[in-house]
Amino acid sequence: MPNSIVLVKQVPDTSNVTSDAMREDGTVNRGVLPTIFNPEDLHALEAALELKGRYGGTVTVVSMGPPKAADVLRDTLYRGADRAILITDRRAAASDTLATSYILSQAVRTIGNYDFVFAGRQAIDGDTAQTGPQCAEKLGIPQVTYLLEIIEAAEVDGEQFATVKRDVGNGWEILRVKLPALFTVIETANTPRYWSVKNMMRHKNDRTAAEIPAEQVEAYKKAGRLIEQWSLDDINADLNRCGNIGSPTKVFRVQSVVLTKEGYTDVPPTQEGISNLIREIVSIKTI
């Protein structure tokens, strides 16, 4: 029975970026922006739940973010996840993908006993699509990006393999990959299931320690209502590889790009039209 770990991110609703979205120091002012479940992570979760439906096993969800990210974890429990873990620590703030993937890989190691790691192909805020592949690299496991389907998970000569289908743009390919492995999932892979009423009733009062008064934590734990909350110490993270310290990339500025009439040119679909366009974008060093 394969065990899956799913990496999900709470992201700012980028269709609603306001002027105070960025702080002076280039970090995202997450407190002021409405947040949503990163769309492709819903498909990553669905891939894990489908697998569990076929082969059994468990689905554990991990999210790194501020305490408010507990909202997406409750959402995953309503959809059928078995366990949810929030990695939250002020020392992780302003982590770029290098630091984020390190922290997530430490969390995956700490959970252990996994066969599949699922991530979304891309987050709609950073938009780098780097975290999944970087996480696989740090875990030293194979990675398959643009996953469309897990065709089969089977044991061959005592070893676990998965046969999968991935999108290659103008078609798809079938791969067999040795497990454990990491998969980044795209939105065309499946249709995320809705919340089940049974799961909602069961988990609607689940809280992380950060969301409740300290004196109530034990009671929540006893009642099985406590969503696990881990710090960087709980995952034995090297603090030099986390947060601002561990991030060579600094986000300089984020702004909404609004296309105006002046902002675009009609390109005639002719050889000459295309050649002029390429010449223009080369001259303005866009490529």
Residues that bind ligand FAD (CB under 6 A): 7-9, 28, 38, 40-41, 44, 63-65, 95-98, 100, 104, 119-120, 122-123, 125-132, 249, 251, 254
Residue whose CB is less far from ligand FAD, 271 or 286: 286
Residue nearest ligand FAD (C-beta atom): 126
Rounded least distance, CB 212 to ligand FAD, Å: 22
Rounded least distance, CB 18 to ligand FAD, Å: 14
Residue whose CB is less far from ligand FAD, 120 or 180: 120
For residue 105, give both structure tokens. Answer: 């890989």
Residue whose CB is less far from ligand FAD, 103 or 179: 103
Residue whose CB is less far from ligand FAD, 100 or 143: 100
Residue whose CB is less far from ligand FAD, 92 or 164: 92
Rounded least distance, CB 127 to ligand FAD, Å: 5
Residue whose CB is less far from ligand FAD, 40 or 115: 40
Task: Classify the phi-psi angles of 111: left when phi > 0, otherwise alpha if psi is within -120 to 50, otherwise beta.
Answer: alpha
**Positions of E strands within 198-249:** 228-230
Rounded least distance, CB 70 to ligand FAD, Å: 12
Rounded least distance, CB 86 to ligand FAD, Å: 9
For residue 132, give both structure tokens. Answer: 């999944």
Rounded least distance, CB 221 to ligand FAD, Å: 24
Contact 138, 102 (CB under 8 A): yes
For residue 145, give both structure tokens. Answer: 């990006």
CA dist 180 and 139 (Å) reads 10
